[in-house]
Structure 1
Amino acid sequence: MNEMNFHSGSWMGDRRYGLRRLNIGLRYQPRKTSKNRLPRNETQHDYDQPQLQPRRSSVYNSTSFPLFSRQNVDIDNKLVAENARSRISQSLRNLNTIGQSRTRQRHLSLQFPQNDGDSEDANGPPPVEESCTRGSRLTLSSVSDNDSLNALVLLPPRPPSETSRNLKTVRAAIKSGKNSGKNMSFSFQLLPYICQLKVFSYLSSLEKGRLFLVCKCWYDLLRSCCLWSHVSCCEIQMHCVTKEHHNCLEVCYAHYCHRVHQFLDFLGEIHPVLHSLEFMFDIADTEDGYLFKLEQLIQNANIYNLKYVSMNWRSTPVRPFWLDKSILNSKCDEVIQKHRHRQRLFVNFFSHFTLFTPNITTLIVPFDWSEKSVDSVLRLKQLHCLVLEKYFVFQYLSQTLLDKLLSGLSHLKRLMLEVWTPCGQGLVMFSITSKSLEYLDITQCRGFYIEHLNTPHLTQFRVARHPWNGPLVIAEQLNIPCLHDILLEGAPDLVKLNDHDLKSNWMEIKYSQLQEILKGVCSCRMHKTGWAM
């Protein structure tokens, strides 16, 4: 039931929606002596103004939203419009007077040529500024053929005293927000449409979602596709449902899945122009249905100008692992089979995804190092930053695929690798060749050892020693080259090793600080200690 009762002595009203009561205070209160005051029983409906959306009292117990008074805003706008029309008409009359005075002056100068005498007639007619009325502040010096309208607006004639007083009141209310000790605020709805979009563009996805509940005008405004160019599903967190008796794990996660589905469906309806996309979902989980929703989003959204992509398709971090009962009772072969099934789903999804996103510059993804996935990455010719995380522990990496990937990305500047390969007596060494690479990070690798570098533009190199072998490995049978010799030959422009700024003579002299760093990261016989590689 909606009830609106206006009291006899005030402009305050009460509106009831179910169990919730809202106090609505009109911002702009008209003066009691104003002639433009509307009758008390007259109601106006403007659907362009914010309208309150009723919500359930269980979600919002007591909430009050300030509404904007349309009646008094219309009165003030009418006064401003009338004042503007009167000012422009008066300025045009003054301009005609100025033109007639100048024409009269030209005729007088033609009929009575001026002499160098001391008489009053020799001085000619009075200046043009003096011929204007005393109430006008418009001058010919500020008026030109191209800027006549600007001059009329900047230097208008003085309006009457009453109109000037009303206009000053409106301007003072907009600037200071206070008038006669009463709180007055500038309506956000008076801003142009593009300015409102610019303000909303600085908000996060969750903040935009909360603003949907404010009013109908903001609801329509926030459905603009340009406001959702940066989509991050990671901002949606799993919260506990505010009920007394419920299973927190199952119910709360079910609500989380429902919120994610609603968000992805909303994006599919408005067809956003995406510039960045980020999500962390297990695409192999058929019960949650994340893969289907992501495919719908790619189909409905405009992803041609997508620049930044961070996709974690291997797991859903917010999902409690004990909800999946199959993991607790499954065998090792079943776990490996599920990993392989997830990998096949990713290969097909990623291949379809890269067909429509040729302009990606930054990609962060768990990589499976299959031939089809490498071919999909090679479609991204504008790639500048590439982060390849590990997906499976015992994933085999061949030198051929690594060379194919680096040679096909001619604009690649930054590369971060995370490869876990078990090593032993049959240790496999790798070489990295790239003409454009400037930053290389292999600190997260396990069992990945570099044998050769060919990176002439490399300026920063990050490396760490994470051995993945045991004491049964005979160190005398391994011959790993020194990292200093590798960098000396393959990275002549190197200026930073890990967090250490190299000196200018690092290529000629192994100074003490550099030696300490090499002892912690190099696996050669000279720098390593014990059996740890």
Structure 2
Amino acid sequence: MAPSRKKRKLRRNTHHHVKYKKHNTSLLMAASTSSRSNQPHVASFDTLPLECRILIFSFLSDWDKCTASTVSKSWFFTIRSPILWQTVDFTTFSVDTRDEFYKDYVQTALAPLDWKGHVLYCFNCYKKRLEHYARYLRSVKASVKHLRFQFDLGHPEDQFGKMLINVLRGVNCRNLVALDAMWSQTLCRPLMPHPSDYFPPYESPPLGKVKAFQEFLKVLVAAAPNLRQAMLPFDWSFESTSLLTQFRYLTELHLKYYWIFSVLSQEQLTALLKGLTHLKKFTLQLRNRITPGSLHELQYTMESKSIQLLDISGCQGFFLRGMNMPQLQRIWVSRPRWSGPLIILNEHSFIPRCVYYVLVEGAPALKVINSYRLEENWTRGLSGELHRTLRHACSCQKHLNSWALM
């Protein structure tokens, strides 16, 4: 039986409604797709390549890196990358009397601390921070390129030398190129009015400090054979000199004077300069003991085929007797400042050689003396400007013009 007219009309309307609905749905989907394509794509930080994340984190300080590592697991593992810990600087830590550890301690303490106890507690917090920092460096296997510290390696209570040796053995120092080691004293250590109240009697013999420094050098030679730059106080003992010459690739060396008066022998200086065949820049600070009978022993001959820049302006009791430096281009030299007994000149006194003639004989490529740029024919004779420069740099009889050597 054929369907009625009403049923046929209802079927036709339903078909048109479904067709219209499908058409509108397709238009809406197309419109939404086009609108999404026009919007910029926003990527999260974790979707960046690892190299980009490491580069961004490298601009943070060590303290900020540790704080950022608590944000998420992704940041935690990224910051533990060894390449992010190339610069190890223990001098960024300081003794702060407003330390948060101290505030927490005061709130829980049974009795308030006096001033001496306050300072001592802050210094102990400083040592704990150094220990935590050293432990973290070992845990991430840091790839160290620059190392800097400033504390006494030989102090029996602080144990900084042992801590530093553990760091060298626990991290990767094969790429270590720069060292700034102020190993002779801890400048931030508090000076207590009555040290016996908080520390046992302690005397720091020079041999104890030097021995700790030599132990550090032994470990450093094995851990960082590719060292390029070094700045450190030096005791000029034969063992220390022998250890320092094992850094064959040193190009820049700055040796500061030790806290006691030490006497440099010609053999030690010759051995050091001959052992460092790649040395380009050498700065020497020395405090020789000056007495009327030791003046003849304070004349030195410097020989090096690689040094281009030489700075001996910080030396006292150091007089040039000869020089063989064919590559030397610039030198800083000054007359020693007075220290110790006053030495009066007479006919029997020792008069050092003139710096001008020493340089003419041993530095043919020299271009600058202090701030004075030499002329091309400077070896033929003294000009007026060069003479005035040497009056502040030379201790010979011609340029001294004084009744005393200093």
Deviations 1:3-28 (A, max 9, x none): xxxxxxxxxxxxxxxxxxxxxxxxxx
* Contact 2:153 2:183 (8 Å CA) reproduced: yes
Q: Which amino acid aligns with 1:437?
A: I
| Residues 192-215 of structure 1, C-alpha deviations (whole Å, 9 max, x = no match) | 222101111232323323323434
Q: 1:299 aligns with which of 152, 169, 184?
A: 169
**Aligned: 1:353 with 2:220:** yes
The answer on 1:531 being equivalent to 2:404 is yes
In structure 2, the partner of 1:289 is: 159
User: C-alpha offsets along residues 382-417 of structure 1, whole Å, 9 cap, x if unaligned?
Assistant: 110111111143212110111011111111101111
Counterpart amino acid of residue 390 in structure 1: Y
Q: Distance in 1 between matches of 2:47 and 2:343?
A: 77
Measured after TM superposition, the shift of residue 355 of structure 1 is: 2.0
Which residue matches 2:234? 367
* Superposition map of 1:396-411 within 5 A: 396-411=263-278
In the other structure, the counterpart of 2:53 is: 196
Which residue number in structure 2 is paired with residue 451 of structure 1?
321
Partners of 2:263 and 2:289 within 8 A in 1: no
Moved more, 257-266 or 499-508: 499-508
Q: In structure 2, how many angstroms separate the alpha carbons of the residues matched to 1:393 and 1:288?
A: 22
Contact (CA 8 Å) 1:206, 1:235: kept in 2 or not?
A: no
Written as runs of structure 1 = structure 2, the 5 A alignment for 1:107-146 is none
Q: Secondary structure at the match of 1:194?
A: helix
Which residue matches 2:140? 270
Give the equivalent residue in structure 2 for 1:503. Answer: 375
Query: What is the TM-score of this pair, normalised by structure 2?
Result: 0.82
Q: What aligned pairs does 1:31-180 form with structure 2 within 5 A after superposition?
A: 160-171=30-41, 174=42
1:126-157 CA-partner distances (Å, limit 9, x unpaired): xxxxxxxxxxxxxxxxxxxxxxxxxxxxxxxx
Report the AA paired with residue 134 of structure 2. Answer: L
Give the drift of 1:492. 1.1
User: How far did 1:484 drift?
Assistant: 0.8
Q: Which moved more, 1:316-325 or 1:369-378?
A: 316-325
Residue in structure 2 matched with residue 241 of structure 1 by the alignment: 99
Q: How does 1:375-390 map to 2 (within 5 A)?
A: 375-390=242-257
Could you tell me whether the CA contact under 8 Å between 2:290 and 2:341 is conserved in 1?
no
Is the Cα–Cα contact under 8 Å of residues 292 and 343 in structure 2 kept in the other structure?
A: no
Alignment of 1:492 onto 2:342: no
- Displacement of 1:475 in angstroms is 4.4
Q: Quick check: 1:343 aligned with 2:210?
A: yes
Query: Which one-letter code corresponds to 1:489 in the other structure?
Result: E
- The 2-side partners of 1:392 and 1:340 are apart by 12
Bigger relative contact order, structure 1 or 2 (CA pairs below 8 A, ≥6 apart): 2
- For 1:18-37, list aligned pairs within 5 A: none
Secondary structure, aligned partner of 1:321: coil
Distance 1:286 1:219 in 2: 36
Partner deviation per Cα, 1:155-211 (whole Å, 9 max, x = no partner)? xxxx9442121132233xx4xxxxxxxxxxx63223122210111123232332332
Asked whether the equivalents of residues 351 and 373 of structure 1 are also in contact (C-alpha less than 8 Å), the reply is no
Correspondence for 1:316 among 171, 175, 186: 186
The amino acid across from 2:121 in the alignment is V
DSSP-derived class of the 2:366 partner? coil
Q: Which 4+ residue blocks in structure 1 deviate beyond 6 angstroms?
A: none
Instruction: Give the superposition deviation at 1:326.
Output: 6.3
Letter in 2 for 1:241: D
In 2: Cα distance, 1:356 partner to 1:438 partner: 28
* Distance (Å, rounded) in 2 between the aligned partners of 1:324 and 1:293: 27
Match of 1:254 in 2: 124
Name the CA distance, whole Å, in 2 between partners of 1:258 and 1:370: 33
Corresponding pairs, count: 359
Q: Distance in 2 between matches of 1:206 and 1:461?
A: 41
In structure 1, stretches of 5+ residues that fail to align are: 1-158, 175-185
Instruction: Give the letter for the 1:228 counterpart.
Output: W
Q: 2:331 aligns with which of 433, 439, 461?
A: 461
Is the CA contact (8 Å cut-off) linking 2:90 and 2:149 kept in structure 1? yes
1:474 equivalent in alignment to 2:345: yes
CA RMSD of aligned residues (A): 2.5
Structure 1 residues 170 and 313 mapped into 2: Cα distance closer, same or farther (>3 Å)? same
- Give per-residue Cα distances to partners, 1:472-491, cap 9 Å, x unaligned: 44343112111111111111
Instruction: Describe the SS at the equivalent of 1:322.
Output: coil
**Secondary structure at the residue paired with 1:355?**
helix
Letter in 2 for 1:454: N
Shift of 1:503: 2.1
Going from structure 1 to structure 2, the CA distance change for 1:433 and 1:324 (only over 3 Å counts) comes to: farther
Contact 2:344/2:405 (8 A) holds in 1: no
Question: Which one-letter code corresponds to 1:512 in the other structure?
Answer: G
Q: Deviations over 1:201-231 (max 9, x none)?
A: 2323233233234344322221111111111
Match for residue 260 of structure 2 among 371, 379, 393? 393
- Aligned partner letter, 1:278: R
Q: Note if contact 1:393-1:421 (Cα within 8 Å) is conserved in structure 2.
A: no
Identify if the C-alpha distance between structure 1 residues 361 and 261 changes in structure 2 by more than 3 Å, giving closer, same or farther: same
**CA-CA distance at 1:507 after TM superposition:** 1.9
The structural deviation recorded for 1:506 is: 2.1
Query: Are the aligned partners of 1:469 and 1:532 in contact in 2 as well (CA < 8 Å)?
Result: no
Partner of 2:7: none
Which residue in the other structure is 1:79 paired with? Answer: none
Secondary structure of the residue aligned to 1:440 is strand
**How do 1:414-425 and structure 2 match up within 5 A?**
414-425=281-292
Question: What residue identity is the alignment partner of 1:259?
Answer: R
In 2, the alpha carbon distance for the partners of 1:499 and 1:211 equals: 47
The offset of 1:330, in angstroms, is 11
CA apart distance, 1:320: 2.3
Distance 1:380 1:351, change over 3 A: same
Greater CA deviation, 289-298 or 505-514?
A: 505-514
Contact 1:205/1:235, CA 8 A, preserved across alignment: no
Contact 1:425 1:474 in 2 (8 A): no
Give, in whole Å, the separation in 1 of the partners of 2:324 and 2:57.
47
Flag the structure with larger Rg: 1
Using the aligned pairs only, state the percent identity. 28
Q: Please state whether the residue corresponding to 2:378 is helix, strand or coil.
A: coil
